[in-house]
Amino acid sequence: MADQPLWLTFLVAFVFMNALLIGMAYMTYFERKVLAAMQDRMGPTRTGPKGLLQPIADGIKLLGKEDLIPAAADKWVFFFAPLVVFVTAIVRVAVIPFGGTVEIFGRQVNLFAADLNVGALFLLAFGSLGVYGIILGAYASANRFSLLGGLRAAAQVVSYEIVLGLSLVGVFLLSQSLSVRQILLQQQADLQLGPLSLPNWFILSQPLAFVIFLIAGIAETNRAPFDLPEAETELVSGFHTEYSAFRFSFYFLGEYINMIVLSLFAATLFLGGTDGPGADRYWGLGLVWLVLKLLFFLFFYVWLRATLPRFRYDQLMGIAWKVLLPLVLVNIMVTAFIRLVGNGQL
Amino acid sequence: MLVELSNLPGPDWGLMLPQLAVFGLALVLLFGDAFMARAQHFRVLTGVSLVGYGLATALLWTQDGRNEATFFGLFRADGLTVFLSLVILVAALLTVMVSASYVDRLEGRMPIGEFYVLLAFSVLGALMVAAAGDLVMIFVGIELSSLATYILTAFAKRRLGAVEGALKYFLLGIFASAILVYGMAWIYGATGTTDLDGIARALQTATAGDEFLEPSLLLALLLTIVGLGFKMAAVPFHFWTPDAYDGAATPVTAFMSVVPKAAAFAATIRLLVQALGPMRDDWLNLIAVLAFVTMAFGNVVAVAQRNVKRMLAYSSIAHTGYMMVGLAVYRQQGGFDVGGGATGGDQGVTSLLYYILAYTVMNIGAFAVVAWLQHRGRGLTLDDFAGLASTQPLAAAAMTVFLLSLMGIPPTIGFRAKYEVILAAINADTAAGLALAISIVVLSAVSAFYYLRVVAVMYFDEPARTPRTESTPLLNVGIGAMAVATLLLGVFFSGQLIDLADRWSRALTVVAQAGGGG
Amino acid sequence: MPWDVLVFYLLAAVCVLAAGGVVVATNPVHSAIFLVLCFFNVAAVFVMLGAEFLAAVQIIVYTGAILVLVLFVLMLVDPDDLPEFHAARPVQRAVGVLLGAILLLEVGAAILNRTVVGQQGNATPANVAAVGGNVQALGRNLYTQYLLPFEIVSLVLLVGVVGAIVLALPERLGERVGQRRATISLGHPRGTDVAALPPGLDGPDGETPVRVASGDRPVATGSGRREATSELEATRELIMVRDADERTVVGGGRDSGRS
């Protein structure tokens, strides 16, 4: 890690943020295409070649719509609630490393915006702040459907956040660090099992934690099959019923960015992030590996949505408290025990 | 340096056997409650509780005279620990005797397993405060004890009064906790340590210089006294007391009038005497004023009560005032002051400790008789006590003993305790001490009015109705034991008990002198 | 003035203003939002002090969990049911302001005259760096020197759990806990929903606005359900139901997933 001028960090952050926004736009295209394929349809085809300009058209349409505010709404809260979702989602990218320190145009550039020593907690913390956008928006709309959606979101996020955080404790125990970059660096070493040489990805040593993390992550982003806060069929889209135009687009952006961030997070913590064949020689290849892993997770999201029906509310809570939480606690205890034995302290 | 992980000193488990016994008891009760058939809860869990507290009390002898610390000095087993743990464990044992049949039969049959579990955790918290060697320990101990007590207060949740009292207790209690911990933060900020002896040493160094007038420490003192005043129900921080005492189920009232109070006094002694002793000139007068206001208010308002439980609540406020007198005349000369005469323990603190013990026995006794009457279909007002002597002479006799002891009539233990406090106040040889001694005497005369009124109603009025018969063997044994103890402990064994209470302040002198160099 | 001092004053100012907002705001939800802002700034101050772990935990625990639950409760309470938020008598208000002002003066005096009389604690920057950073230093202190209080705090939480169960369990001792399967009742027997109940259905009984006339069984099978459904459809009003799996009382069948 090299020290670099502040403007360069800003530049890197700017590039990543814009890449993220464009990626998010095409995430919607990707989702519609994959869903269409799974449901034996065509998906968007009209706008541009193979419908590739569809996200841009959608964006223009959203901005052109009328901005409606309910008469009984709590105006200030109604205004800033969507921003909370969007900002907390996009800030989280800051601690995800897209590579190490590389040389571009003869300059040392860090391919990450920040290397916090509590980076993983930072990701969790801002993830938990995002729920404010949902419940405050729901409250400010002065609408029963919205309120119920907001209440569901609050209960759901608080429950799954515990599972999400605890599922990472095993990784922290193994890596002895809370810094995302340190965790990533540790996975670049090789794991020698006799003649077998495996990448030291934490999915191999923490498979249970990985599965639980994935489930809790999907619940945390309110995606199917955990999309109860915005269940259209019962709540008329839940918390964002009253939102339209660009305010709605902030919720929309926030949800998709959260999906991408969660996927990047999972790829970095469990699948070695930028690690892959040849990545230590060409940093561009590392980025490609990361994007491939990201696409895998995003496909997984869409796949789930196309396959699984929505959970019932009590099932949702039951899974978190009665299945995932005990499992994750057992995982922590076993991991800690193995570590102590490995250190010869037991 | 931070603690090194190599050659880490292991905790000395042998030093905390009584506390571990109560902890084990709590866990056994928790699992017993979860995995045993409901029908067996009453018999088995009551037995387990009695054995557990008895065992813990017996194990106190392993701590006697050790004056050691473990867990990096956070847990101290010294004279104060032993004496206050004795008080708390005796109170717990008596509470179990009083509450068993009440919880199982009255107020819609409350779940007795959870009752005992919460009781055990509350006792454990109080024990930890008594053994605290650090501000952090004091705080978490008080919180553990308080939280369990809040829930116990609301235990008779079908009665609106219980919920109301619990809510008031809870809201004011957490507010007081916040004030207390804010004061502790100021102490830490001014002295740089949370260790009680470390604070005393830091202050000693500071007082040795001339420029010692530390506003931040005065603020800390004020905030901690306010916080602890809430917990011990001193006026003007008493507002929760009547409603919480009146609303809670009677055995819970008996418990919460003693154990949280003992924990609060333990915290106060640890904090004011042990840690902030070098600046006692700043807090002695404050405590003296609080003591006077508390006993005056408690006694005067108690006169107006027709509800016996409420009357006992105000009376317990008055007794808080008597106990605070012991603290207000603290004048430990050894150690901190150059040339002070360190001649044995401090009479003020010793009398305070002895008073807590006496108060425990007689106050739980009075509430036990109230519970005994509730079993037999009587209410809580003065009229419900009418003619008790003719229908249930033994209960009336026991109640008379407890009330006379609370009043301070010889030869009861209450008289002996009050005598010790008055003696300490007079021996303090200050105007404030003398004034407080006179106030105790005068206000005791006031208290005679409302205590004797109950006695008069019991003996001279006609019974309104025939009582229900009910079998409460454990409660009967408890009341009998407490009545005998109240009658006799003032005369027999009082020397030994006072000596036990005296040990800590004697040891404190030695410690303070040993560390006197600062 | 160095930039970090400027940033600190900015954070502190926002924090104090937000704390004031908590007290002044007349809408409880607004108070909660101000509190979020206040906690967030406290977390930022922690970061400036080099206590990154505390900052993250402050956000995760306080703003992310506790205040969410506070909002949760506030949103379940009808604002009209709340007592007047600032209904103190003038005398009470005056005394409160006076006492607050005195406390503020004392705190101010204490801060301006502060001198640390004790020694420095062991968490100096050098010591913290020696063990590898803020997180490691905190963990080491917590799990060695302050292990006992740490464990007692876990008991406090255990007592909280036991107490919550004891106080919240509505059923009579010894009886079976009822058949209710949903963990959180979404039925809300207040306002227009209940007023619009058709005459064939019973009114609210605590938390289940919908009850079938025949017996106590929840809407389940047979003709009772069909009748209820048709009557409800006639009124075109929203009715919440007792169990999560009976939520299709209103309108047609379940719709398939999203568009």
The three-class DSSP label of residue C183 is: coil
Q: What is d(CA B82, CA B88) in angstroms, rounded to the nearest whole number? A: 10
From chain C, pick out residues whose CB is under 8 angstroms from the CB of B208: none
- Please give the full DSSP string across B42-80, using - where no structure is assigned: HHHHHHHHHHHHHHHHHHGGGTTTT-EEETTTTEEESHH
CATH class of domain segment(s) C1-79: mainly alpha
Q: Would you state the pLDDT for residue B319?
A: 94
Helix (H) or strand (E) holding A107: strand A107-110
Spatial CA neighbour of B203 closest among B271, B285, B289: B271
Q: What angle do CA B254, B148, A324 make, to 5 degrees?
A: 155
**Full residue range of the structural domain in which residue B117 is found:** 15-514
Quote the DSSP letter at residue A272: -
Radius of gyration of chain B (CA): 22
Spatial CA neighbour of A118 closest among C200, C216, C135, B339: C135
Kindly report, residue by residue over B330-340, the tens digit of the pLDDT: 875 433 333 33
pLDDT band at B199 (very low <50, low <70, confident <90, very high): confident
Handedness of CA A146, A150, A152, A157 (dihedral sign): positive
Residue B169 has pLDDT above 50, yes or no: yes
From chain B, pick out residues whose CB is under 8 angstroms from the CB of C145: 3, 72, 74
pLDDT band at A233 (very low <50, low <70, confident <90, very high): low
**Minimum-distance CB partner of C184 among A155, A224, A234:** A155
Copy the structure tokens of residue C19.
Answer: 């704390």
Residue B136 has pLDDT above 90, yes or no: yes
Query: Could you count the other beta carbons within 10 Å of the beta carbon of residue A159?
Result: 22
Whether C64 contacts chain A with CB within 8 A: yes
Spatial CA neighbour of B23 closest among B117, B153, B140, B94: B117
Cβ distance C59 to A305 less than 8 Å, yes or no, reads no
From chain A, pick out residues whose CB is under 8 angstroms from the CB of C186: 148, 151, 313
Q: What is d(CA B212, CA B190) in angstroms, rounded to the nearest whole number? A: 12
From chain C, pick out residues whose CB is under 8 angstroms from the CB of A173: none
CA atoms within 13 A on the CB side of B464: 11
Interacting residues of A309 by C-beta distance below 8 A, sequence separation 6+ = A225, C257
* Shortest Cα–Cα distance, C68 to chain A (Å): 6
pLDDT band at B501 (very low <50, low <70, confident <90, very high): confident
Q: Which residues of A touch C (CB under 8 A)?
A: 74, 77, 116-118, 121-122, 124-126, 128-129, 131-132, 135-136, 138-139, 144, 147-148, 150-151, 154-155, 157-158, 161-162, 165, 178, 224, 227, 232-234, 305, 309-310, 312-314, 317-318
Looking up tokens 């032993």 gives: B82
Interacting residues of A136 by C-beta distance below 8 A, sequence separation 6+ = A77, A80, A81, A84, A150, C29, C33, C71
Cβ distance C72 to A227 less than 8 Å, yes or no, reads no
User: Which of A76-85, A109-118, B341-350 has the highest mean predicted lDDT (pLDDT)?
Assistant: A76-85
Looking up tokens 């994935």 gives: A214
Spatial CA neighbour of B82 closest among B17, B138, B134, B24: B17
Kindly report, residue by residue over C129-150, the tens digit of the pLDDT: 888 778 888 888 888 888 899 9
Kindly report, residue by residue over B232-263, the tens digit of the pLDDT: 999 889 889 999 999 899 999 999 999 999 99
Scored b (16 or more CB within 10 A) or e, C210-236 reads bbbeeeeebbeeeebeebbbeebeeee
Residue type, B316: S
Is B412 in contact with B355 (CB distance < 8 Å)? Answer: no
Interacting residues of B73 by C-beta distance below 8 A, sequence separation 6+ = B133, B134, B195, B197
- Within chain A, residue ranges assigned H as helices are 6-38, 54-64, 75-91, 119-140, 144-175, 180-187, 202-205, 207-220, 232-235, 245-270, 283-307, 313-318, 325-342
Distance from chain centroid for Cα C139: 28
**Minimum-distance CB partner of C65 among A158, A178, A318:** A158
Whether C247 contacts chain A with CB within 8 A: yes
pTM of the model: 0.84
Copy the structure tokens of residue A310.
Answer: 């929505």
Quote the DSSP letter at residue B465: S
Residue C200 has pLDDT above 80, yes or no: no
Q: Would you state the pLDDT for residue B258?
A: 94
From chain C, pick out residues whose CB is under 8 angstroms from the CB of A135: 68, 71-72, 75
Answer whether residue B10 is part of any domain. Answer: no
Q: Would you state the pLDDT for residue A188?
A: 76
Answer whether residue B26 is part of any domain. Answer: yes
ipTM attached to this prediction: 0.90
pLDDT band at B212 (very low <50, low <70, confident <90, very high): low
Which range among B272-276, C102-106, C188-192 shows the weakest confidence by mean pLDDT?
A: C188-192
Residue C75 has pLDDT above 80, yes or no: no
Neighbouring chains of B at 3+ CB pairs under 8 Å are C
Helix, strand, coil percentages in chain C from 3-state DSSP, rounded to 5: 60, 0, 40
Q: What is d(CA B457, CA A266) in angstroms, rounded to the nearest whole number? A: 77
Cβ distance B144 to C155 less than 8 Å, yes or no, reads yes
Q: What is d(CA B100, CA A319) in angstroms, rounded to the nearest whole number? A: 39
Q: What is d(CA C123, CA C144) in angstroms, rounded to the nearest whole number? A: 14
Query: What total of structural domains would you count in chain B?
Result: 1
Interacting residues of B467 by C-beta distance below 8 A, sequence separation 6+ = B376, B377, B378, B391, B392
Cβ distance B157 to C167 less than 8 Å, yes or no, reads yes
Residue B77 sits at φ, ψ, to 5 deg, of -110, 100
**Minimum-distance CB partner of B38 among C116, C156, C174:** C174
From chain C, pick out residues whose CB is under 8 angstroms from the CB of A318: 183
Neighbouring chains of A at 3+ CB pairs under 8 Å are C
Q: What is d(CA A199, CA A181) in angstroms, rounded to the nearest whole number? A: 17
Helix (H) or strand (E) holding A191: strand A190-193
Choosing among C66, C107, C117, C175, which should be mutated to test the B contact, i.e. which has the most B CBs within 10 A? Answer: C117
From chain C, pick out residues whose CB is under 8 angstroms from the CB of A125: 56, 59-60, 64
**Minimum-distance CB partner of C72 among A151, A227, A305:** A151
Which residue ranges make up each domain of chain C?
A: 1-79, 129-169, 192-249
Count of pairs with CB atoms under 8 A, one residue in A, one in C? 110
Distance from chain centroid for Cα B20: 21
Q: Would you state the pLDDT for residue A236?
A: 61
Quote the DSSP letter at residue B210: S
For residue C131, the chain B residue with the least C-alpha distance is B2
Which range among B2-6, B77-81, C102-106 shows the weakest confidence by mean pLDDT?
A: B2-6
Q: Would you state the pLDDT for residue A6?
A: 76
Q: Would you state the pLDDT for residue A141?
A: 81
Q: What is d(CA B368, CA B363) in angstroms, rounded to the nearest whole number? A: 8
Choosing among C152, C153, C157, C158, which should be mutated to test the B contact, i.e. which has the most B CBs within 10 A? Answer: C152
From chain C, pick out residues whose CB is under 8 angstroms from the CB of A138: 75
* Shortest Cα–Cα distance, C53 to chain A (Å): 6
Q: Would you state the pLDDT for residue C201?
A: 45
Distances (CA, A) of C82 to A75, A142, C77, C85, C87: 22, 17, 8, 7, 11
Q: Would you state the pLDDT for residue C228?
A: 46
Answer whether residue B5 is part of any domain. Answer: no
Quote the DSSP letter at residue A92: G
Q: What is d(CA B424, CA A208) in angstroms, rounded to the nearest whole number? A: 67
For residue C140, the chain B residue with the least C-alpha distance is B3
Cβ distance C130 to B154 less than 8 Å, yes or no, reads no
Is B277 in contact with B222 (CB distance < 8 Å)? Answer: no
Question: Which contacts of B456-462 are long-range, i.e. CB under 8 A and separated by 24 or more positions?
Answer: B457/B382, B457/B383, B457/B385, B457/B386, B457/B388, B458/B385, B458/B386, B458/B387, B458/B388, B458/B389, B458/B396, B458/B399, B458/B400, B459/B389, B459/B396, B461/B386, B461/B387, B462/B386, B462/B387
From chain C, pick out residues whose CB is under 8 angstroms from the CB of B13: none
User: What 3 state SS string does B109-167 have?
Assistant: CCCHHHHHHHHHHHHHHHHHHHCECEHHHHHHHHHHHHHHHHHHHCCCCCCHHHHHHHH
Residue B56 has pLDDT above 90, yes or no: yes
Which residue ranges make up each domain of chain A?
A: 6-342
Average pLDDT of the residues of chain B: 86
Cβ distance C64 to A312 less than 8 Å, yes or no, reads no
Spatial CA neighbour of C71 closest among A317, A154, A126: A154
Residue C227 has pLDDT above 70, yes or no: no
**Minimum-distance CB partner of C131 among B2, B186, B193:** B2
Residue C103 has pLDDT above 60, yes or no: yes
Which range among A248-262, B51-65, C212-226 shows the weakest confidence by mean pLDDT?
A: C212-226
The percentage of residues in chain C with a pLDDT greater than 70, rounded to a whole number, is: 58
Spatial CA neighbour of B240 closest among B348, B315, B335, B314: B314
Is B418 in contact with B356 (CB distance < 8 Å)? Answer: no
Q: What is d(CA A41, CA A345) in angstroms, rounded to the nearest whole number? A: 60
- E-only strand ranges, B304-403: none
Choosing among A91, A126, A129, A179, which should be mutated to test the C contact, i.e. which has the most C CBs within 10 A? Answer: A129
Query: Could you count the other beta carbons within 10 Å of the beta carbon of residue A16?
Result: 19
Residue B459 has pLDDT above 50, yes or no: yes
Taking residues A29-37, what's their average pLDDT?
86
Kindly report, residue by residue over A128-155, the tens digit of the pLDDT: 888 888 888 888 887 777 888 788 888 8
Q: Would you state the pLDDT for residue C245?
A: 42
Scored b (16 or more CB within 10 A) or e, C138-169 reads bebbeebbbebbeebbebbebbeebbeebbee
Interacting residues of C239 by C-beta distance below 8 A, sequence separation 6+ = C193, C197, C209, C210, C232, C249, C250
Is C166 in contact with B119 (CB distance < 8 Å)? Answer: no
**Minimum-distance CB partner of A121 among C56, C72, C75:** C56
* Shortest Cα–Cα distance, C234 to chain B (Å): 41
The percentage of residues in chain C with a pLDDT greater than 90, rounded to a whole number, is: 14
Whether C117 contacts chain B with CB within 8 A: yes
Handedness of CA B331, B335, B338, B339 (dihedral sign): positive
Taking residues A100-112, what's their average pLDDT?
70
Spatial CA neighbour of A239 closest among A151, A130, A127, A129: A151
